[in-house]
A and B are shown apart, each in its own frame.
Chain A
Amino acid sequence: MVSEDRSSPVVCVNLWYDVGSRHEPAGQTGFAHLFEHLMFEGSVHVKKTEHMRLVQGNGGSLNATTNPDRTNYFETMPSEHLELALWLEADRMGGLVPALTQETLDNQREVVKNERRQRYDNVPYGDAWLRLLELLYPEGHPYHHATIGSMEDLNAASLDTFKAFHQQYYAPNNCVLTVVGDAGPDEVKRLAEKYFGELAPVPDIPPAPAGHIAGPATTPVRETVTAAVPASRIYLSHRTHPFGTKGYDAITLLATILGNGRGSRLYQRLADGKRIAQPDYIGSYGVDLAHAPAPLIVTATTKDGVDVAELEDGLSEVIGSLVTEPVTDEELGRAKAMLTTAWWRSMSTVGGRADTLGRYATQFGDPATVAYRLPQWLAITADDVTEAAAYALKPESRVTLTYVPEGKEGKDA
């Protein structure tokens, strides 16, 4: 896909590979993410560490991310280096395996373990997302395990197992290439043919295990963690609808009305209002996963001297109000205005536009559907929000994860 924009001499090259942690079989958790690391460590014509040096050394910014649904790679370059970026991406799509050594694998396993320590283990509440996934999705569901994966799985696997993983999924027929910025369609098509055109497709790429699951759960689940945290915090979560559906659009509006900004119900009623929640740590958001009903997460942290049970009651009451107190025109208008700004902000860089186009092409088979998202948000009515709340946010479908500071179990937190 090409989206030409000559306003600035920069170009973004973005690749979405349709492989994420949902594709990982038992015993191979963390593979998709480890590959995100290995992809920077050299390929047939690119020496170890040369990828970074060539992108940064030509003025570019780059990164890659992995989530349950997919893995993406992207670099924004001064536009005279478009061809270099395409060459680098093609070389690591088609030529990673011969260059992958045991030493590189061992080193990047260590880096990933450090990433886990830094992001999840060494930070208060850092493992909330890992715990929520296990509570939201049953054992065996592709979203049950976290993308960072199990360090035991990573340790146990051989070099050949990793090579096989790459050969299975890193194929031109499992990838969407998007170029946005200072480049035209003819030029990009010619270069894409030149660098990717001869790469062989991989036949019969196995689909991810089915993510079919009822939307909301039917039994509540609760977990309480006692840990070195500075204050009690609650995460309430529900499975809702998959990203990309009308139901999820309503959830997106709902999350904004409920918990995004100072005008939201949670802020107005619990941070302001009752003043039982810390104003900097209250909110709600959806996690935009497309291959099963996606989570809505509501979180709040107690103010000093507030009992965590009182905060939970307050959260339940505000969530319940979405069904019993109709959303006002003002609330709906506020949410739509905020989502409009957020949408255009994400479109204001070539990188943001490229990633969004890649998402819509990969997940919905048609990049043109990107044009419908904002209008579809703006078409959501107050009744749609009430209906979404009644469907997805019932107390019996709720996951409740509570963190309590050490030494405060059973007491006011």
Chain B
Amino acid sequence: MTLVANRPAAGAARPYAFPEIRRVSVAGGTVIAAHLPGQLLASSLLMLDAGAAHESAGREGTATVLAKSLEEGTKTRDSAAYALALEGLGAELSASVDWDSFRVSVPAPVPLLLDAVRLAAEAARTPRLDPEDVTRVRDDEVTALRMDWAQPGPRADAALRADLFGAGDRYGRPLHGDPTSVAAVTVDDVAAYHDSWLLKPGVLLIAGDLDTLDLTALGEAAFAGTTGAGATAEGPLAWETRAQRRVILVDRPGSVQSTLRIGHRAPERATPDYVPMTLAATVLGGAFTSRLNHLIREVRGYSYGIRGSYAMTRRFGRFEVAAGVQTAVTVPAITDTIGEIARTQLDGVTEEELAVARSWRAGQLSVEMQTPGAIVGALSTLVLHGLPDEYYATLRREYLEATVEQVSAAAAAHLHPKGLTLVVEGDAAVIRDELVAAGIGELVDAEI
């Protein structure tokens, strides 16, 4: 054998540092920028306090239709001219909505970023919003949602969300609405949403070579013609842990896999348990060697992959496990999944598992934050959750210092195997009886 038998030890670690952050207040808004010397590309993100939570009941998807309407021409040029101007810079606009914010981002080569931000602001601040165009974009979005909902997953996601947050609550409806709610969105809804939320300055985030970029000019371009302040942040939603499991069946006739979405409510992003919760979820379902992936994929061969994690926003959090499993093993896969969640809740994590989770989470901070786009995303987390500039260095340290006791305590407090909602999207004719017989929880059929 000509292989080296002994695993090499680690070399000396080089210190971790998040890029230097600079701030400029200009034209009523704030520019927050991270310095990436020598990068040829830069990224910008205009973040506005206009998340989907502001949408009216029954009109969920208004902000998404607005986002898609921004490129349908501006007050000064039509959509074809706008596309050519922007793409002629090698830039593409991305407008998106999440629960807490509305984001307009443009990556571009450093020398062209100012022109790209001017164009992005032109679309965000002064879109044409011609009624005929908005109507067409709305109809296209209904069709696109139907396309998306024909895939496995979105219907299961909607069923889980409705159950956890209540179908009558905005947070219980899909982030981007559903085909029915988007079809109900009117031109006036879209225009009103724009006037209420997109004319405030917001925050401009930049990642790039700050020796070359002019932050004041970028801020002036982004904030021109804006007024007002963001909305007052509202507190976290009230919730309580459930005492019973429930199973929701979403029929997908002929499906060769069952799509699983299994979860429960959890604390919001500001929870002091954020780090130990993240590490507990990493051990349970985050890393490739996690308990769930190891058992369901590697040992049982039921699935191509299974993941479990906490997702947390300003006002709510939830725990969720997601997987696609072979139809024939739907029940055993669910039983195994509940078993691993229960075991983690009861017995906590081991030092060996936690060592992997700690190093992985800490290492990912440098490994996954290489591009201007990734750095801008990291800045947006700081702004959204009011975190200090040195946050990522602190986070790294907290990951590395977390103990088995802390992480096990977080698992004990924030996993609720007996209060899970289990959504199963699959071929009901094949799996229904077995699901009922398994006695996992009361079974209801979803009307989605």
The chain A residues found within 8 Å of chain B, CB to CB, are 7-10, 44-45, 49, 52-54, 56-61, 76-84, 87, 90-91, 94-95, 106-107, 110-111, 114-115, 117-119, 121-124, 182, 194-195, 198-200, 228-231, 261-263, 267-268, 272, 275, 278-281, 301, 303-304, 330, 333-334, 337-341, 344-345, 347-350
Contacts and interface: CB of A to CB of B under 8 A. Distances in A.
Given A280-B140, A348-B41, A337 B8 contact: no
18 contacts: A54-B7, A56-B287, A58-B359, A76-B367, A95-B1, A111-B297, A111-B298, A111-B304, A114-B301, A117-B304, A228-B254, A230-B150, A280-B144, A304-B143, A337-B91, A339-B90, A344-B109, A347-B40
Contact of B8 (A8, A87, A230, A344): A87
A86 to B, nearest CB: 8
Given A118-B257, A121-B256, A330-B84, A90 B13 contact: no
B233 interface: no
A337 B41 CA distance: 13
A117 B140 contact: no
B83 interface: yes
B71 A262 contact: yes
Contacts of B257: 114, 117-118, 122
B212 interface: no
B152 A272 contact: no
Interface string B85-115: 0111111100000000000000111000000
B267 interface: no
A317 B156 CA distance: 40
B3 interface: yes
Contact of A348 (B2, B108, B371): B371
Interface string B140-151: 100110110111
Contacts of B356: 53, 56-57
Contact of B39 (A10, A94, A339, A348): A348
Contacts of B127: none
A243 B7 CA distance: 39
B231 interface: no
Interface in B353-368: 355-356, 359-360, 362-364, 366-368
B37 interface: yes
Given A110-B301, A345-B371, A123 B87 contact: no
Contacts of A301: 147
B83 A263 contact: yes
Contacts of A94: 2-3
Contact of A118 (B40, B91, B324): B324
A80 B143 contact: no
Interface string B239-266: 0000000000000001111000000000
A341 B91 contact: yes
A41 to B, nearest CB: 8
Given A94-B2, A122-B152, A114 B366 contact: no
Interface residues of B, number: 78
A81 B360 CA distance: 12
A54 B289 CA distance: 10
Contacts, number: 228
Given A56-B289, A77-B363, A107-B301, A83 B11 contact: yes
Contact of A114 (B15, B79, B107, B303): B303
A194 B7 contact: no
Contacts of B316: none
Contacts of B372: 348
Contacts of A338: 87, 90, 92
A355 B298 CA distance: 28
Contacts of A263: 80, 83-84, 86-88
B88 A90 contact: no
Contact of A337 (B79, B90, B150, B370): B90
Nearest to A85: B8
B256 A341 contact: no
Nearest to A231: B147
B88 A84 contact: no
B411 to A, nearest CB: 19
Interface string B367-389: 11011100000000000000000
A221 to B, nearest CB: 26
B90 A90 contact: no
B324 A122 contact: yes
Nearest to A7: B38
A87 B107 CA distance: 37
Contacts of A10: 366-367, 370
Interface hub of A79, A106, A198, A262 (most chain B Cβ within 10 A): A262
Given A61-B364, A278-B143, A44 B256 contact: no
B2 A199 contact: yes
Contacts of A229: 150
A124 B304 CA distance: 18
Interface hub of A44, A53, A59, A60 (most chain B Cβ within 10 A): A59
A337 B363 contact: no
Contact of B11 (A82, A262, A279): A82
Given A114-B304, A338-B90, 11 more contacts: A45-B4, A58-B360, A80-B14, A111-B301, A114-B303, A194-B4, A195-B3, A262-B71, A279-B140, A337-B90, A348-B40
B13 A78 contact: yes
A122 B256 contact: yes
Contacts of A349: 370-371
A348 B370 contact: yes
A79 B2 contact: no
B16 to A, nearest CB: 7
A344 B41 contact: yes
Contacts of A228: 150, 254
B293 to A, nearest CB: 9
B197 interface: no
B307 interface: no
A155 to B, nearest CB: 13
B144 A278 contact: yes
Given A80-B11, A341-B91, A118 B4 contact: no
Contacts of B84: 263, 330, 334
A90 B256 contact: no
B301 A57 contact: no
Contacts of A272: 79-80
B304 A334 contact: no
Interface string B116-144: 00000000000000000000100110011
A293 to B, nearest CB: 28
Contacts of B8: 83-84, 87
A60 B87 contact: no
B255 A79 contact: no
